[in-house]
Amino acid sequence: MSTTLLEIPGYRVHGQLGKGGMAEVFLATQESLSRKVAIKVLHSAEDEAFSQRFVREAHIVASLNHPSIITIHDIDRLDDGRYYLAMEFLPGGDLARHKGELFAPERALQIVRQIASGLAVVHDKGLVHRDVKPANVLFRADGTAVLTDFGVAKDLDIDSELTQFGIAVGSPAYSSPEQAQCQPLDARSDIYSLGVILLEMLTGSNPYRGGNYTQTVVNHVQMEPPPLPDSLGAFRGVLSRMLAKAPDERFADCRALLAALDEVELSDLDETQIRPALTLPEAAAPAPVAPRKRRSNMPLLVVLSVLVLIGTLTSAGLYIKQQREIAALLDQAEQRFAAGQLIEPAQDSAEQYFNQVLAIDDDNDAALAGLQRIREARIKVLTDLAEQRLADGLLTEPAEDSADYYYRQALAIDPQHAGVLAGLQKVLQARIARYLELAEQSIADKRLLLPAEDSAVYYYQQILGWAPDNADALAGLNSVALLYRDLARTAYRRSDFPGALAMIERGLEAEPQSPELLQMQGEHQQLLADARAANARAAADRAAREERERNNNPIKRAWNNIFGQ
């Protein structure tokens, strides 16, 4: 999507910050407060389940209030139905950008302490993040670490449907052993993930990351944390508990972890970097004792090996089962796609099977590409129908079988599709051309203003309603106004003043700002005023003359004298 076409009321979008399988993030300015924000926008509004998950993430984060948890400013929908989330912009990038770097112990401790304090608030709300990893640790300009991306956060009181079906959620390289094996999770799983991050910052590598998913899972289940060098000895106790395989052996919660982090003495780190060799004095030779039969550890090793093997096979089996299920769903989706069953029937369509894959693996490239192919195929079908209707002259009617209808159906799938937008423009130009022809015919038939919906003025005004600056329609209204001007002049020559005024007023209906008609209207009103004034003066003169005549009549004067009138 082009950022120049993205319009969000109240925000000025500057450019894209990142893009994922289901959403993209833009840098914008919130105009009301003139502050920079990051806006996360879903790619599509079609997946209602994912949209609700997106809204849920926003509500979860908005309910939390902590300096190390990202701040949510707003959540709303675009005109095309897609949800967006406006949050604080963190210019410092994420921790993943520093992969392979060695952090100063003080800085590593500071980052872990900040994230742990944020997680304490998350856990107090009865939630577990489930995806604590470097990419989800961002930094403010002042270096403060901030936890973000609560898309897979889970209420501890609600069983996870994904876990019920043996599907792990989160990032394998940072998942706890119980998370990797799809077991129930609690806050201690997040503590393990944070421990992996701390280990990686201190040593520059994540020892659990394997060459593939299965190996990574096995490493988390089996492999003990590598020994820390003496220079990092102060962290041994904390990391040992954070990375314990059994949840019961880890810190009970983040507050206990924070208390332990406060006990880490960084001053000890310098002391342990250089340590003089110590020579132990020779001990006296011990008295000989009778040899005692050593107890074999073999049975215990066998039991442990069997348990490890079972865990490995279980994890590998879950992964294989998951991959087989995904492959079967993708095969079903491709079959439906080939058969043209793109979105119907709803429970047996290509779209349905691709979405089922994403419910298992929300970043599955094949499923995401499949949904994009479905969108493109649907748009092509609709645009082909629209082109046919356009060629047949069915621009807007019938209402649900016209070029305009099919283009708008395609636009609902992709509001920024260039071909669809161009098609709607072609429909508009065709409608304008048709109405211009109707207007010209109406002028030829002398239907300038009437009938109300079949006249030249009507057709020109309709065009201007679609395209306010259309030059042909503006010129057409001007030509109608000039025709009425000529009719008014003809009426004046016949001394038909009422008829002339009627023509002037009709011309002004066509073009209210016509300079000639406005001048003629003003002159006509002045003529009427002059005529009324002349008539009034004539009437007054006539009355005065009649009065004088009455007073000059001798008979009338005698009569008045006799009768006293």
DSSP assignment of 507-519: HHHH-TT-HHHHH
- In a 3-state reduction of DSSP, which class is residue 56? helix
Give pLDDT, residue 317: 61
Give pLDDT, residue 118: 95
- In a 3-state reduction of DSSP, which class is residue 451? coil
- In a 3-state reduction of DSSP, which class is residue 398? coil
**Closest-CA residue to 151 (of 237, 80, 85, 223):** 85
Q: What are the tens digits of pLDDT across the range 366-389? A: 888 999 999 899 999 999 999 999
Decide if 254 contacts 125 (C-beta within 8 A).
Answer: no
Q: What are the tens digits of pLDDT across the range 207-236? A: 998 877 778 888 999 999 889 998 899 999
How many CB atoms lie under 10 A from the CB of residue 157? 7
Could you tell me the CA-to-CA distances from 224 to 208, 276, 358, 509 in Å, in that order? Answer: 9, 29, 33, 88
CA atoms of 85 and 58, how far apart (whole Å): 7
Give pLDDT, residue 161: 35
* Buried-state track 381-411, b at ≥16 Cβ within 10 A, e below 16: ebbebbeebbeeebbeeeeeebbbbbbbbbb
Give pLDDT, residue 556: 67
Q: The tokens of 291 are what?
A: 């040899």
Give pLDDT, residue 204: 93
Say how many Å lie between the first and final Cα of the chain, rounded: 102
90 membership: H or E segment, kind and range:
none
Is the C-alpha dihedral spanning 48, 54, 56, 58 positive or negative? negative
CA atoms of 303 and 9, how far apart (whole Å): 64
Chain position carrying tokens 């004067």: 557
What domains does the chain contain, in order, with CATH numbers? 11-88 (3.30.200.20), 95-271 (1.10.510.10)
CA atoms of 307 and 418, how far apart (whole Å): 59
- Indicate the burial class of 33 (C-beta count within 10 angstroms; 0-12, 13-18, 19 or more): exposed
Q: Enumerate residue ranges in the chain where pLDDT < 50.
A: 1-4, 152-153, 155-169, 271-294, 312
CA atoms of 39 and 35, how far apart (whole Å): 12
Decide if 373 contacts 413 (C-beta within 8 A).
Answer: no
CA atoms of 521 and 215, how far apart (whole Å): 91
Query: pTM surpassing 0.75?
Result: no
Count CA atoms within 13 Å of residue 374 on its CB side. Answer: 27
Residues designated catalytic: 131
Q: The tokens of 482 are what?
A: 């000039």
Spell out the residues 6+ positions from residue 497 whose beta carbon is closer than 8 angstroms to its own: 491, 524, 527, 528
Q: The tokens of 240 are what?
A: 């040992």
Give pLDDT, residue 470: 94
Decide if 143 contacts 113 (C-beta within 8 A).
Answer: no
Torsion angles phi and psi, residue 455, rounded to 5: -130, 165
**Closest-CA residue to 337 (of 286, 299, 372, 389):** 372
Give pLDDT, residue 15: 83
Spell out the residues 6+ positions from residue 287 whose beta carbon is closer than 8 angstroms to its own: none
